[in-house]
């Protein structure tokens, strides 16, 4: 053996040296390649960083919508009552979950963004300087039903999925916090909360109840010693999610799940009035250093239905003025904007100039909070005995409410309410309505639910049959029962506001809707009533013509007919 090594040792050393050189060159090239890749990556990263800096250095002028955005809750125009309620709900010692209802462009999102900063200023508030405001948009919120990804609630990246990283290679599931956990200790704002998927809505309700997010994974084993302690803690105790929810929606309250509504304080933002639109327009013009003619300002306030529309109109008008080298917006410029944008004027129903037979000012609510005046017209034409008919026009009998996944069809009850009206007129006033062709019309083609317009329809029909005019400066709302009683309805405050804006001097409401706050209204008379007799005595101009010649022709049918008077048999 020694002779072998003595004879071939030199050759073996040469072979060993060659292998060492080859292996060394291999690793040297490997390290050189890694270094070159790092150099290339560094150079590419440096190029991209320079590009980003160059892009960030380029800035256009700030949009007018951003310039006019409120900086504090006091800057939110036209929502004083809603802002007070929002402060009460979130800025005190025990903040509540909140849902804000209202039409688009009236300040819901702006108020939600600002309320946390005001709450932090209150020493009694549980919110502190570290409390976060996390905002998500339900219209673009996407999630996976298998919990692979859920940006709202949170999810688990299981080891088999791409991007699981080193922990995934070790077979460890990785919890990923969602917006609920990121908002812990602060406010989670969900814009258009009514658009959330029903499954996400149910998960959110569970989080609101538990104040934590519980996650599950088929790959989690509580006895696995390789899983880090913090992941064990998350799966056992959940991710913290103690926040206050603020949701905003343009939907009606009945379109949201009752379980969500029961957990939240509901706040309603009103549609903006003309004076509010005017203030928004003037604020926008001040930021642009532009002036405007009075008639141009009037045109914008007549067509803009919300603050966002008003600001967009101003921005377009200012652009046209700049192209014409002017710093003043005139009416022709505004008309160009309105014609191009195909804008429609705001509905502005005014009462008649004088008392009119068969015309009554009714009151209604559309959307979540908007009140309006509706004209109720009635015409009664004598017909052959017992051959009369009745017709209702101008009512949207069926409307689709909601959106994808939430839509349902709502039918008007107007025709059923007309049956109540005709029954009351026959039974209590001795008017044989079968001897008349009665036509009820609601000009404008609006959704009318029916019951709340009951006393309006009864007054209009009674007025048209007896030829008595109705007070043109009086409006009314209330459901009419078949016994002639006035039942309570909803949206009283919104309806009274609408009557005030229209110049109405007296408003009839059901006595059951009376509130102490209505006593503070001093610019109009609020009249609570319990039956149709009280309605007619206050609505008709002159003495109410009832129980006269018409009643003389009727005969009494006793208690069986609830004390009603009906026409003699030969008139039916």
Provide the domain count of the chain.
Answer: 3
Beta strands 239-240 and 291-292 are: unpaired
Judgement on whether residues 306 and 443 belong to the same structural domain of the protein: no
Judgement on whether residues 263 and 278 belong to the same structural domain of the protein: no
380 included as an active-site residue: no
DSSP 8-state code for residue 61 = P
The verdict on pTM exceeding 0.85 is no
Position 260 in a domain: yes
Comparing CA positions, the residue from 363, 369, 379, 350 lying closest to residue 449 is 363
Judgement on whether residues 379 and 246 belong to the same structural domain of the protein: no
Catalytic residue among 108, 203, 212, 495: 495
Judgement on whether residues 399 and 526 belong to the same structural domain of the protein: yes
**CATH code, domain carrying 371:** 3.30.230.10
Contact 210, 192 (CB under 8 A): no
Judgement on whether residues 443 and 415 belong to the same structural domain of the protein: yes
Judgement on whether residues 431 and 390 belong to the same structural domain of the protein: yes
pLDDT at 83: 92
Position 11 in a domain: no
Position 41 in a domain: no
Judgement on whether residues 292 and 333 belong to the same structural domain of the protein: yes
Judgement on whether residues 527 and 559 belong to the same structural domain of the protein: yes
pLDDT at 560: 32
Share of the chain above pLDDT 70, in %: 85
d(CA 306, CA 167): 52
Burial 215-226 (b: 16+ CB within 10 A, else e): bebebbeeeeee
Task: Give the distance, in angstroms, between the CA of residue 281 and the centroid of all CA atoms in the same chain.
Answer: 23
Judgement on whether residues 238 and 280 belong to the same structural domain of the protein: no
d(CA 81, CA 85): 6
Judgement on whether residues 262 and 289 belong to the same structural domain of the protein: no
SS3 assignment, position 175: strand
Domain that holds residue 419: 356-571
Judgement on whether residues 494 and 381 belong to the same structural domain of the protein: yes
d(CA 338, CA 304): 9
Position 99 in a domain: yes
pLDDT at 221: 85
Catalytic residue among 427, 452, 464, 494: 452
For 302, counting Cβ atoms within 10 Å of its Cβ (0-12 exposed, 13-18 middle, 19+ buried), the class is: middle
Chunked in runs of 10, what are the mean pLDDT values of the chain (572 residues)?
66 78 81 73 84 88 79 85 91 93 88 89 90 92 74 82 63 87 94 90 92 87 86 91 94 88 91 89 89 92 90 91 90 92 80 89 77 88 87 67 48 71 88 89 67 88 92 92 90 87 91 88 90 92 55 36 37 34
494 included as an active-site residue: no
Domain boundary among 287, 307, 341: 341
Helix 331-341 to helix 294-303 angle, to the nearest 10 degrees?
A: 20
Judgement on whether residues 446 and 505 belong to the same structural domain of the protein: yes
Position 305 in a domain: yes
d(CA 553, CA 564): 13
Torsion sign across C-alpha atoms 8, 10, 12, 14: negative
């Amino acid at each position: 053996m020694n002779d072998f090594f003595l004879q071939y040792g030199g050759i073996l050393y040469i072979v060993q040296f060659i292998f060492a050189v080859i292996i060394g060159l291999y690793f040297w090239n490997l390290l050189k390649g890694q270094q070159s890749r790092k150099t290339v990556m560094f150079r590419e990263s440096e190029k991209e960083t320079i590009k980003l800096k160059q892009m960030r250095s380029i800035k256009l002028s700030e949009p007018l919508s951003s310039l006019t955005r409120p900086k504090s809750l006091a800057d939110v125009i036209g929502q004083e009552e809603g802002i007070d309620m929002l402060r009460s709900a979130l800025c005190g010692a025990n903040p509540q979950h909140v849902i804000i209802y209202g039409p688009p462009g009236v300040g819901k999102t702006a108020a939600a963004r600002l309320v946390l900063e005001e709450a932090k200023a209150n020493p009694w508030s549980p919110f502190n300087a570290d409390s976060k405001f996390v905002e998500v948009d339900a219209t673009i919120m996407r999630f996976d039903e298998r919990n692979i990804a859920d940006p709202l609630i949170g999810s688990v990246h299981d080891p088999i999925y791409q991007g699981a990283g080193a922990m995934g290679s070790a077979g460890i599931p990785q919890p990923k916090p969602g917006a609920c956990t990121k908002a812990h200790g602060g406010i989670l704002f969900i814009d258009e909360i009514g658009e959330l998927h029903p499954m996400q809505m149910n998960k959110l309700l569970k989080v609101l109840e538990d104040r934590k997010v519980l996650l599950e994974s088929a790959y989690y084993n509580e006895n696995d010693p390789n899983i880090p302690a913090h992941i064990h803690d998350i799966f056992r105790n959940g991710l913290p999610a103690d926040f206050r929810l603020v949701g905003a929606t343009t939907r009606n309250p009945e379109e949201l799940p009752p379980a969500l509504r029961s957990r939240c304080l509901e706040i309603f933002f009103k549609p903006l009035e003309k004076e509010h639109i005017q203030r928004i327009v003037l604020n926008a013009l001040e930021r642009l250093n532009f002036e405007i003619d009075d008639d141009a300002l009037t045109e914008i306030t007549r067509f803009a239905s919300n603050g966002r529309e008003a600001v967009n109109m101003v921005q377009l008008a200012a652009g046209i003025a700049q192209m014409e080298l002017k710093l003043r917006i005139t009416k022709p410029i505004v008309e160009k904007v309105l014609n191009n944008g195909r804008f429609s004027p705001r509905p502005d129903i005014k009462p008649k100039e004088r008392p009119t037979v068969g015309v009554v000012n009714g009151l209604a609510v559309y959307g979540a909070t908007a009140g309006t005046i509706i004209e109720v017209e009635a015409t009664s034409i004598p017909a052959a005995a017992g051959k009369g008919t009745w017709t209702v026009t101008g009512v949207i009998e069926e409307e689709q409410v909601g959106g994808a996944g939430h839509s349902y069809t709502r039918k008007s009850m107007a025709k059923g309410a007309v049956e109540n009206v005709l029954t009351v007129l026959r039974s209590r006033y001795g008017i044989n309505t079968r001897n008349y062709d009665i036509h009820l019309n609601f000009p404008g083609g609006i959704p009318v639910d029916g019951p709340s317009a009951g006393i309006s329809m009864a007054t209009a029909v009674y007025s048209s049959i007896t030829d008595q005019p109705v007070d043109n400066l009086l409006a009314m709302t209330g459901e009419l029962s078949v016994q002639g009683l006035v039942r309570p309805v909803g949206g009283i405050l919104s309806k009274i506001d609408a009557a005030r804006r229209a110049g109405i001097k007296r408003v009839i409401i059901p006595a059951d809707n009376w509130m102490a706050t209505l006593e503070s209204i001093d610019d109009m008379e609020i009249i609570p009533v319990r039956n149709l007799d009280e309605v007619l005595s206050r609505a008709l101009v002159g003495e109410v013509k009832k129980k006269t010649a018409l009643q003389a022709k009727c005969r009494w049918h006793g208690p069986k007919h609830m004390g009603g008077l009906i026409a003699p048999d030969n008139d039916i």
